[in-house]
Structure 1
Amino acid sequence: SVPLQQTLRHLQGAFANFWTRRAKYPTFKSRKKSRKSAEYTTSGFRFRDGRLTLAKMTQPLAIVWSRPLPEGVSPSTVTVSQDSAGRWFVSMLCDDRPTVPAPVNHAVGIDAGITALVTLSTGEKITNPRHERKDRERLARAQRELARKAEGDGANREKARLKVGRVYARIADRRRDFLHKLTTRLVRDNQVVVIEDLTVRNMLRNRRLSRAIADASWTEMRSMLEYKADWYGREVITVDRWFPSSKLCSACGTLQGRMPLNVREWTCDCGTTHDRDVNAARNILAAGLAVSACGDGVRPQRSTPGGQSS
C-alpha cells in the first residue's frame, strides 16, 4: 500500500505545480518505456545491519553497494527502480551533510566546448571523451534490429528493445562517471568556479552540432558543479551568455570584431596571440571575480574600455 500512497502524493504535487503554473498538465507515463519505480517510506521497509527488507518480503534484498551509508544514519525513504536496460537499483534517502573542507585560495574560469569539453583559465584543456560517438555504430545496429521487429512481436521485440537500452545505459554511465570525476576535482581544488550561462536548448537547434552538444552534456555538468559547490562550501558564479569572452583580449581589453568558430587562434592589436578557448576562460574568470567583488551582474560589453574602436 505504501508505494500506491506515495504515487498519489506525487500526483498531488504534480497537480499543485500545474495549478500554480510551475509545470504543464500531468501526463501518464508508459509502463514499457518509462523508468519503473516504487517508493517506500519507513513503514514499508526494514533496514538493519546493512540489510534491506521491503514489505511483503521474507528475505533481504541481495544488494551490491555502490558506497556505504554514512555512519549513524538511517534511510527515511527507499526507492526501487528499473531502468531501460533492465537493471534494478535501490536509492536510499538519508539526512546527512558532507564534511565541509577548508577554504582554498584558488579560482578558475571554465569555457565549455566540443573538442575540449572544458578549457580552464590556467591553460589546461580537458578533451571531450565523446562517449556517444564511440558507441554510435553499436547503437545504430541495435536500433536497426529493433526497427525490424513489428509491434506486438512479443519477446523478440522486448529483447531488441533491451539491447538498445543497454547501449544507451553504457553511454550514459560512462558520461556520468567522467562528469562526476571532473566536477568533483574542480570544486575541491577551487574556492570560486566561474562558468558561462549557456542556452543549451537553443544551441541544440543547430543541426550540424546538436548531436555533439547533447553528448557534451553541459547542463548536467553545470548542475553537478552547483550542488557540489553547495556541499563543499564553494561558490559558483555564472557569467551572462552575451558576454564576449572569446572576442575580448584578456591582456588589453580590446574588443575584436566578428570571430567565426573556425578561428581558434588570433592576434590582438597589442601584439598578444591568444588561444581562443584559453582567452575566453580567462575573461570569464575576470568577469566572475568582478561580480564577486561588486555584487553586480555581468552584462555584455558593447565597446572596448577607454573608448577604443573595436
Structure 2
Amino acid sequence: MLKAYKYRLYPNREQRVLIEKHFGCTRFVYNWALGLQNDYYKANGKSLSRGAIQSQLVAMKKTADYEWLKEVNSQSLLNALLNVHTAFTNFFKARAKFPRFKSKKIPQRSYQCPQHCTVNFEQGLINLPKLKGIKAVFSREFVGKIKTVTVSKTATGQYYASLLVDNKETLPTPTTIEPSLTLGIDLGINHLLNFSDGSKVDNPRHLAKASQRLAIQQKIFARKQAASKGYQKQKRVVARIHEKVRNSRLDLQHKITHRLIHENQATSYALEDLAVKNMVKNRKLAKSISDVGWGQFVTLLTYKASWYGKNILKVNRFFASSKVCSHCQHKLDKLPLSERDWTCLRCYTHHDRDLNASINIRQQALADLAGLASV
C-alpha cells in the first residue's frame, strides 16, 4: 500500500538557493523536452522515444553552455522527462489537454527525487540528493520504504516535502454491502453534506468569509507597480489569504471524512458521480461550487474508504435525485433550485429537497447494485 506524508521544511539560505536551482533546472528540462517533441512531431509526424530524449540530455550536460545542469540531482532531471512523456500519453488517451510550457512566473514550484532519500525522525532532518540535513517538522512518523519525495514551494514561500511511502501492507478486502449499513450522501451548497439519516453538515463558506478582506488586499495589489518590491510583497499578502482559505477547507474535509470512516457505523457510502468541471461553467454558481470543494471531498473519502475496506457507490450523474419522491417514486417535471422543499402530488409527502435527494441516492445505488432498473 502506498501512502503519502507531507511535512513542512525549513531550509537554510544555502539549501534554499539549491532548491531554487532544482526548480529552475527541472522546469528548463521539461520545457526543452516539450519543445523538442513538438518540433520533431511537426517534421516527422511521430514523437521521439524517452531514450532518445534522455541521450540528448546527457550529451547536452557535457557541453560548456549547459554545465550548470550538473549542479542539481540528475534523477530529478530525468523525472522531468518522464513528466513530459506522461503528459503526452494522457493527451493521446484523451485524459488531459495538450501539454503546455511551464512558466517561471508561477510562484508554486516543485521537483521530484525518485531515489536516495532518507529521514531522521529523532533529529528532525530530511536528506535528499545534493541536499543533506534539511530541517523538517514531522507531525507523524511512518514505517516503510520511501519511493519518491516531492519538494514544493507555495506562493507564500513555504517549503514542503511530500513523501510517497510503501508500507508493505495490502489493501483490505472490501466489506459486503448491506442496505442497513449504507449511507446516502448528497453534496450541496446551502449545506455541504446531506445524509440519508437526516443529519447535515453546514457549509462554512470559507472563501465568502474571506472575500471582503481579499477584495481590499487585491485592490491594493492592483495599484502596485509591477517591477517594485511592494508589488511582490502585496502579491504574497493576497496569496496568503487564498492559502488560508484552501488550508481551512482541506482541514475541514479531512475531519469530516475521518469521522465518516472511523466514527460512523456505515460500511458503504452512496454518492452522485458529479461532473464538477461542467458545473462550474455556470457563472452564477461557479464561485460557490468551487468554494465547497466537492471533488476534493470525494477524493479524500474514496481513498480513505479503500484503506479500511469500505465501499464507495456511485450513482449516474443524470439521475434526478431531487425531483423524485423517495416515498412513492413520483417524478416532478421541474423543480427550480430556489425551492428547497416540496410536496409530492401523488402521495402528499412533504420533502426537504436535500434530504430527499440523499435518500434517493442511497436507494438508487442499492438498486444499481442489485441490477434493478433505475427510477
- Contact 1:111 1:281 (8 Å CA) reproduced: yes
Tell whether 2:240 aligns with 1:175. Answer: no
State the superposition RMSD in angstroms. Answer: 2.3
Aligned partner of 2:319 among 243, 253, 278: 243
Which residue is 2:217 aligned to? 142
Q: Out of 163, 182, 190, which is 1:107 matched to?
A: 182
Question: Which residue identity does 1:7 align to in structure 2?
Answer: A
Q: Match of 1:63?
A: 136
Which structure 2 residues correspond to residues 222-237 of structure 1 after superposition, within 5 A?
A: 222-237=298-313
Matched, 1:276 2:353: yes
The one-letter code sitting in structure 2 at the alignment partner of 1:173 is N
The alignment's TM-score, normalised by the length of structure 1, stands at 0.86
Q: Secondary structure at the match of 2:136?
A: coil
Tell me whether 1:130 sits opposite 2:202 in the alignment. Answer: no
Q: Does 1:81 align with 2:144?
A: no
Q: SS of 2:194's equivalent?
A: strand
* SS, match of residue 24 in structure 1: coil
C-alpha deviations, 1:17-74, integer Å up to 9, x for none? 334554333212222315211211223x34345532223345x1111123222x3x13
Distance 1:49 1:185, change over 3 A: closer
Per the TM alignment, residue 102 of structure 1 is displaced from its structure 2 partner at its CA by 9.3
**What is the CA distance between 1:293 and its match in structure 2?**
2.1
Deviations 1:241-263 (A, max 9, x none): 22222122112222233221222
- Provide closer, same or farther for how the CA distance between residues 98 and 148 of structure 1 changes in structure 2, counting only shifts above 3 A: farther
Q: Of 208, 214, 218, which residue of structure 1 is paired with 2:284?
A: 208
The one-letter amino acid of 1:163's match is: V
Partners of 1:187 and 1:193 within 8 A in 2: no
Which has the larger displacement, 119-128 or 31-40?
31-40
Q: Is the 8 A contact 1:110 1:281 kept in 2?
A: yes
Distance 1:206 1:25, change over 3 A: closer
Q: How does 1:88-103 map to 2 (within 5 A)?
A: 88-96=159-167, 97=169, 100=172, 103=175
- Over 3 Å counting, the alpha-carbon distance change for 1:52 and 1:116 in structure 2 is same
Which of 264, 277, 297 pairs up with 2:340?
Answer: 264
Matched with 1:305 is none
Q: Is the 8 A contact 1:247 1:259 kept in 2?
A: yes
Shift of 1:113: 1.0
Structure 1: gaps (5+ residues): 302-310
Runs ≥4 residues deviating over 6 A: none
The letter of the residue matching 2:369 is S
Moved more, 275-284 or 2-11: 2-11
1:80-107 CA distances to partner (integer Å, 9 max, x unpaired)?
1101121110111101348759958611
1:34–1:114 CA distance, 2 compared to 1 (3 A): same
CA contact (8 A) 1:85 1:162 kept: yes
In 2: Cα distance, 1:124 partner to 1:22 partner: 37
C-alpha change, 1:248 and 1:145, in structure 2 (3 Å) is same
2:9 paired residue number: none
Give the structure-2-normalised TM-score: 0.72
Comparing 159-168 with 219-228, greater Cα deviation is found at 219-228
Question: Structure 1 or 2: larger helix share?
Answer: 2
**Structure 1 residue 187, shift from structure 2 partner:** 3.1
State the Cα distance separating 1:281 from its structure 2 match.
Answer: 0.8
Instruction: State the 1:2 CA deviation.
Output: 2.6
Q: Is residue 30 from structure 1 mapped to residue 103 from structure 2 by the alignment?
A: yes
Q: Does 1:47 align with 2:119?
A: yes
Distance change >3 Å, CA 129–CA 47, structure 1 → 2: same
> Over residues 196-217 of structure 1, what are the superposed CA-to-partner deviations in whole Å (9 max), with x where a residue is unaligned?
1222222222222221111011
Give the distance between the partners of 1:20 and 1:257, measured in 2 at CA: 38
1:18 equivalent to 2:91? Answer yes
SS in 2 for 1:38: strand
CA contact (8 A) 2:75 2:115 kept: no
**What amino acid is the match of 1:143?**
Q
Q: Measure, in 1, the Cα distance between the counterparts of 2:118 and 2:209.
A: 43
Provide, for residues 176-205 of structure 1, a one-character-per-residue CA deviation record: whole Å limited to 9, x for no partner: 111111122223422111111222222222
2:156, 2:239 within 8 Å by CA — same for their partners in 1?
yes
Distance (Å, rounded) in 2 between the aligned partners of 1:21 and 1:241: 20
